[in-house]
Structure 1
Amino acid sequence: MRYAKLPLAITEQSKRLSERGLLFDDPQRVEKYLSNIGYYRLSAYWHPFELPSFNGNSRNHQFKPNTTFDQVLHLYIFDRKLRLLVMEAIERIEVAVRTRWATALALRHGSHAHMRAELFKDPWQHTSDLAKIAAELGKSTETFVTHYKKQYKEPFLPPIWAIVETMSLGTLSRWFKNTSDTATKKEVSLALNMPTIEILEQVLHALTPVRNVCAHHGRLWNRRFAMSLPVIKRIRERLVPPDAPHHQDHHLYNYLVVVDALMKAVSPGSTWTQRLMTLADVLDGAGHRSMGFPEDWRERQPWKLA
């Protein structure tokens, strides 16, 4: 098929929503939100309020009776707050892993341990990763980069504790997994209260797309992620099992449980869990189920004590 939909003016967009049964009293207010957020972006949040389709199409586009624009906006605002809260936690976890990995590796192998191929399992992967960092720093105007270039000729890259600050979570996850120094990786895993190195590697890998959704303002609330989190025995009773129906373990709930466990290790006095529960309270049961929350989630740890 050839795409043939024509663009609509903002006033036509609000008119179409009204014709499809969405209730609102102030078209200008709706048009303001459509102008700033976008019809396409908001459509992900009114999808749950649409009538089921009976003709084989993926969506009906007609709204359930008594659906209001404020209900859609409420869900959109919830998702924005959720992203900010999850991003806050992942940032703190990411910084902790960065710092502990770089410090442990430097103390064992020197300031430029990241440049030593023998410290990494796959030399080809290491060479590729190092080249990417060198290329990025070659174009960088960061103060620490320009200072290093001006002050030092060798080695050509800054020390690992500076380099690590340029790594995204995905890049850090790849470097951490490729590190061959088991003692360094075990030190980091224990500090984050993860039972094994392999578990931490899998967790960092799985959290990367969650972090990217948050960073790029994507829809988080009812998203289904491709990767499963590893089974972590010490918190198994808190998690939705892999054999749960409707791929429930691929939704956000398990990720929130694991993020909470990591936050407890990184920042034991944090109010993050309580703030997450306060935010979750604004949704009803259907909203919770869209995130993969089990029916008895309030009776499970860590929410029971929050």
Structure 2
Amino acid sequence: MGKNATNSTPHATRPTGGANQAGSSFIPMKSPLSLRDQLSLMKGRGLLVEDEASALSHLAESNYYRLRGYWLTLESDGAFIPGTTFDDIWEIYLLDAELRDWVWRALAPIEVKARTSFAYHMSMALGPLAHEDSNNFLSSKSHARSMGNFKRERDRALDDGVPCVVHNMGKYGDLPIWAAVEVMSMGTVSQLYGNLADSAAYPNGTSVRAAVARDFGAKPFILRSWLRHLTYVRNICAHHSRLFNRVMTTRPTMISPDSAYKGDKQFPTLLVIRRIFESSWPQRWDDLGTELSAIVGRHPGVSLAPMGFPIDWKRPLRIR
């Protein structure tokens, strides 16, 4: 691992000398450090290590550069805040892992419902191949990109022998929307929904956008934002990336009662999840809230402020 890592996200180095294979100028790559040298580097910056064997084991299983993102709140001017221990960093890491698992499980039924509602209303209003008709969408260019993604997803599923894909492709040469959503990524579903035109509607004039949004107890522009944001969060969780203290580059639009908590941290995500559960599965939110409270309770020394949690965070989430 390179010396003097100062950020949890890799960044290109400014060209100041040397040359790479293509002739561009870069500084020489840093040499790797052994696990013991990594720990020595941390200690040299003021970190207290009470159990070196345990710390080395954690470094071996979590990667120094990955772990680096978890101590950003525990350092100042390139050194650890006096009194900071390796265990302090590891507690943040464990909290983040548990929170990420909680979010992943909470997102699963939301994703399935989004696929189901989108397929149902598209097919009932516009027919089994409505997703392929660019006239149902605002931007034909965006629709073409979505269809390109879908066809790659469909072809992979066909190669993998997914039964519903093999059956429909063999019988019809195409996938009806109710089968198509089973192989679409959440990103593709979100993009298609966000690109729907108001003219994509039932005979009575109700747009598919509005019908799907009604299933989630939201307005179309709100649901569009939520699905886009939750797709972003889902991908973070799927790649086991850090949530703690992360700047969320895709922010959700908050409804008026939650507007005081808007921002680019993690608390708005939890509020969006809560709103969807209270609309779709209200009886399940109490259990999820209890789990979330227990996760936080297992790591009492970790500050929630870097994730945008207010002091009274349980109240807006309606957690007992």
TM bucket, shorter chain = 0.7 to 0.9
Seq. identity, %: 30
Q: List per-residue Cα deviations over 1:126-165 (Å, max 9, x = no partner).
A: 233223322332243142323333x31x3x3211111112
Q: Which moved more, 1:130-139 or 1:212-221?
A: 130-139
Q: What are the equivalent positions in structure 2 for 1:154-173 lying under 5 Å apart?
A: 154=172, 156-173=173-190
Residue 185 of structure 1: aligned partner: 209
Please state how far the C-alpha of 1:100 moved relative to its aligned partner: 0.9
Question: Who is 1:210 aligned against?
Answer: 233
For 1:47 and 1:91, the matched residues in 2 are separated by 30
Matched, 1:143 2:168: no
Contact 1:92 1:266 in 2 (8 A): no
- In structure 1, the residue matched to 2:66 is 41
Aligned to 1:132: 149
Count of paired positions: 283
Cα distance in 1 between the residues matched to 2:68 and 2:81: 14
Q: Could you tell me which residue of structure 2 aligns to residue 229 of structure 1?
A: 252
Matching of residues 72-151 of structure 1 within 5 Å: 72-140=89-157, 141-144=160-163, 145-149=165-169, 151=170
Q: How far apart are residue 283 of structure 1 and its match?
A: 4.9
In the alignment, structure 1 residue 240 sits paired with structure 2 residue 257: no
Moved more, 198-207 or 176-185: 176-185
- Matches of 2:254 and 2:50 in 1, distance apart? 49
* Residue 242 (structure 2) aligned to one of 193, 204, 219: 219
Q: Is the 8 A contact 2:138 2:196 kept in 1?
A: yes
* Cα drift, residue 77 of structure 1: 0.7
Using a 3 Å threshold, how does the CA distance of structure 1 residues 165 and 64 change in structure 2: closer, same or farther? Answer: same
For residues 87 and 193 of structure 1, the distance between their equivalents in structure 2, rounded to whole angstroms, comes to 21
Shift of 1:102: 0.3
Q: 1:72 to 1:274 in 2, by over 3 A?
A: same
In the alignment, what sits opposite 1:274?
A: 290
- Asked if structure 2 preserves the Cα contact closer than 8 Å seen for 1:13 and 1:39, the reply is yes
CA distance in 1, matches of 2:241, 2:230: 15
Q: Which letter does structure 2 place at the counterpart of 1:116? A: D
Q: Which runs of 4+ in 1 moved over 6 A?
A: none
Structure-2-length-normalised TM-score: 0.80
CA distance in 1: counterparts of 2:276 and 2:112, whole angstroms: 12
1:257 is the counterpart of 2:271: yes
Q: Is the 8 A contact 2:254 2:272 kept in 1?
A: no
Per the alignment, residue 313 of structure 2 pairs with 297
Corresponding letter in the other structure for 2:317: P
What whole-Å deviation, never above 9, does each CA across 1:2-51 have from its counterpart, x for those lacking one?
1542110112222322333322343222222111111111111122222x
Segments of 5+ residues of structure 1 without an aligned counterpart are 54-59, 242-248
The answer to whether the Cα contact below 8 Å between 2:229 and 2:250 also exists between their aligned partners in 1 is: yes
Q: What TM-score, normalized to structure 1?
A: 0.84
**Superposition deviation, residue 277 in structure 1:** 2.3
